[in-house]
Structures are given as structure tokens and as C-alpha cells.
Amino acid sequence: MEIQTLSLPDHPDLAARVAELAAEAGNADGVAPLSEQFLLGLTDARLGHRHLLAVEDNRPAGVAAVDGLTAEMVVAPASRRRGIGTALLRELGGVEVWAHGNLPGAQALAAADGRRVTRRLLVMAIEGPALAAAAEYEGHDAVTAANLRVSAERFGRLTVEQAWLKANNEAFSWHPEQGGWDLARLRRATEAEWFSEEDVLFLWPDGPALAGADGDGVPPLAGFHWTKWHAESTPAFGEVYVVGLASDFRGRGLGDPLLRVGLSHMVRKGADRVILYVEADNEPAVRAYGKLGFTVAEEHAVYANQ
């Protein structure tokens, strides 16, 4: 077994084989080993990912991908327990590594390498009658809901993108992946095959402010709820992909309607199950989702050297 360092977008055939390897591992483990961004990084050179490829008998047996801050890795089910995961971790050095699903095998591998959990990300889910109840939304007297397509027709696409970007960066100024976006990063995210303008919901404040704009020429967006439709699954289900309130609209009781407007949209689309990701240490959010009927379905963890 040898480990090669390369950028997989420069090697499309290898990238395709690694994507197949990840799919095989996901089927075997019941959880996808690579997140959406790291899967995109196999073919999109703009993300700048570095790849460590473990090669066994002239075929990929495992891969570790690094985005500059963290890494994700996977070993082919047929190639496990041969020291490949240990070798990849050794090559990664001090880079923090995600363990999606935080499965027993990943826990044991991390412990043997002297790593500990530094971050936990929960997947919470809601379905059936609980989802139907949580999705009840009859409007709000202070805001108007409109999707991206309708909003762009009214204000112009660039203006809406700027308002969306501003609200996102205010809501996620603390977040290592979602914060600090620029327009290019936002537009790259909307290139995903699953993206739909109808699945991004905005809350615009009612009254004179809606007809005007702030000093930057951007209408005052109260919040956004970006939903994701998982049509690749049978049955299809929805996801609270990103939801955030702008700074000026916090503390006004808009968090609940912002969440419900997206849930309502996904239920109308046919969802009987909706998931979301939330940091485990964000206790207020975990409690709020729990009160709505969400329960923990999965856990993902980041491991770092002690």
C-alpha cells in the first residue's frame, strides 16, 4: 500500500473511483463518509482540496481529503483492518478529522491515534404527525414570505443575493463553515444539482421598509430559510439546510415563523420527514427543535490530537 498526495479534480477517472468507494462505504455503514462539500471537492478544483490517496493493488483503497482546516476520510469496506486508516491519519498529522456517524470503528481508530472529540454535530429529524403540527404556518403580521425566484423578480437577483449574503454572515459570524461567505461562495453553493430557487424562503419586513432599501441599496431582509429536497432517496425527504436571522431582527419572535415557513414548504412538497444539522453545544437550539418534535437521529464528530 502506498499513499499518494494529489488533487483529484486533476484526475477525473480516479475521482470517479473514489466517489464509488465512498458510496460503497456509505451503503455498508449506513451513513455517508464524506459531506457534500468534500464530495464536490473530488471534482471541483475551485474548492482547493488536497487529497491523500491510499492505493492498494493499483486501485484506491482509501482517501483523506483536506480543505485547509479539517479533513474527512474513508477506507473501502473490503480494505479495512489493514492499517490504511492509521496510515492516512499519520499523514494528516495535526489536522482535525470528521467522523460522520461517529461509528465504533472511527472511535477506535481515533483513540489509537491519541485523538479526542472537539466538536459534535447532531442530525435531528421530525416526521409524521409531529412534522405536520410543526409545519403549521398561517403567516406573520410583521413579515411577508417569498421565495428566491419571486424575491429576485421584485428586487433584482443581485440585490437579493447581497441581502441574503449579509443576513447569512451576520447569523453565522461564529461558524467555521457557514460564516464569512462572499458572493462567489454563495453562487457556488447554488450550483448544486439539487438547488431550486423555490426552496429558498425569505422573510421580508412589511411596511415602508419593504418598498425601500438600506444605505447600501439592499432591502432589509429579516431572515432566510434555505431548504434542501433529497430526491435521491426513496421516499424523498426535506432538510432544513440553512436558517438564519439578520442581526436587526433578532429578539422579535421571528425564529419560530422562519422555521415553520420552511417546514410548511417542504410538507406541501410532499415531505413526511425533515432533518436538520445543529451543533451539539448549541443547547438553546437543540431544546427549541426538541420542543417542536425533532429527535436526534445521528451524531457526527471532529477528532483532534490531544
Binding-site residues sit at: 36, 81-86, 177, 228, 239, 243-245, 250-256, 277, 282-287
Identify whether the C-beta of residue 274 lies closer than 8 Å to the C-beta of residue 125.
Answer: yes
Residue written as cell 440585490?
Answer: 159
Query: What φ, ψ does residue 103 adopt, rounded to 5°?
Result: -70, 160
Residue 115: in which H helix or E strand, if any? strand 115-127
Angle at 32 between CA 29 and CA 37, to 5 degrees: 160
All residues at 6 or more sequence positions from 221 whose CB lies less than 8 Å from its CB, including other chains: 160, 163, 164, 166, 167, 202, 203, 204, 246
Identify whether the C-beta of residue 67 lies closer than 8 Å to the C-beta of residue 49.
Answer: yes
Annotated binding-site ranges for acetyl-CoA: 81-86, 243-245, 250-256, 282-287
Angstrom distance (rounded) from CA 260 to CA 274: 12
